Amino acid sequence: MAERRELYRSPNGDSWFLGREPQNGHAFVIHQPNAPSGGRLSPIELGEFLNAATKGPEHQALLRLIGTLVDVPPFADRT
C-alpha cells in the first residue's frame, strides 16, 4: 500500500495526493475523483502530472509542497 499525503481537495470533491511506494521510494500523484464520478484512484507519474497542459490548483499545491523542501530563500546571498 502506498503512503500518501493530500495535496488538494476541489470544491466538487475530487482529491489529489502525493503518494510514495515504501519499498522503493518512488513518488507519484494519485487522483481520486468524487463519488458521483466513480471515486476510482488513478496514479499519475510526477512528470506527466507537472507537464499537463492544464495547470490547476492541484498543480500549484504540489509546487508549494516541493518549495517547502528548500531551506534557502530564492535568490538569497549564499556567501
pLDDT of residue 59: 93
26 vs 74 pLDDT, higher one: 26
Instruction: Locate the domains of the chain by residue range.
Output: 3-67
- Percent of the chain clearing pLDDT 90 (strictly above): 54
Q: What is the dihedral of CA 34, 12, 32, 62, to 10 degrees?
A: -170
Flag whether pLDDT at 42 surpasses 70: yes
Tell me the average pLDDT across 43-60: 90
State the average pLDDT for the chain: 87
**Which residues lie below 8 Å from residue 24, measured CB to CB, with a gap of 6+?**
none
Flag whether pLDDT at 1 surpasses 60: no
By C-alpha distance, which of 24, 21, 29 is closest to 65? 29
